[in-house]
Structure 1
């Protein structure tokens, strides 16, 4: 089970957008440069994110993209789904036909793992990731030398 590049890049780009759209629309070329993701790939991803109503595009001077909802209302599972990516631990794509048309012995185990992962990703918002990043930056490490 792997998260594809499509899903990883969509999440990364959305975090970048959430962090940088607070002062106005963000150009995909800026996200491309900061995150080392090709501009044409970002254009494809943002087309999907726009259709899923997670981002809005603004045209004209100063145009670019903004979040379609507050960062606290957009979760990682939504982004991955919008990018048309799916995490699935089963061999049968959750169809329960992995063993000659019937569920295999471990089907329920992998289905439960899928549910756990989806529940976790649904609980993580863009805002919570930004807050974690901000808190990590603000932490100061003090070193003391004891004799």
Structure 2
């Protein structure tokens, strides 16, 4: 399973809003500037996140977006499903032989477990108590 820029940038929006949780709305312009991303693209991603009830928009001169729930209540799986669709490593696993089917299901379940047990709060505070090098991932 490959997460596209939709999922990656959507996660960036949500992490930034989680960092500022309780401080009032944050504009996508600020998030785009701080992360060197396209504001227009972030606007396209905000709509499905808002429709899913993960963020709320606040209008006005000091408007922007806020999380609709506490960062501890929103998982990375919630975000990825909204932006990427169902979590599946392969399409059409029902047509595979049983051994392959079992492998694809195990992979899917492992990915779902990681996504569904990792909250925005976890991501905001990841590595707070350890040096950055200790949580780098290499494949």
Q: Normalising to structure 2: TM-score of the pair? A: 0.85
CA distance in structure 2 between the aligned counterparts of 1:133 and 1:56, rounded to whole angstroms:
28
Contact 1:24 1:66 in 2 (8 A): yes
Gaps of 5+ in 2: 132-139
Count, aligned residues: 131
Instruction: Tell me how large the CA RMSD over aligned residues is.
Output: 1.9
1:69 aligns with 2:63: no
Gaps of 5+ in 1: 98-102, 138-147
Which one has the largest radius of gyration?
1
Equivalent runs, 1:1-147 vs 2, <5 Å: 1-92=1-92, 94=93, 96-97=94-95, 103-104=96-97, 105-136=99-130
Contact 1:90 1:107 in 2 (8 A): no
Partner of 1:145: none
Going from structure 1 to structure 2, the CA distance change for 1:55 and 1:133 (only over 3 Å counts) comes to farther
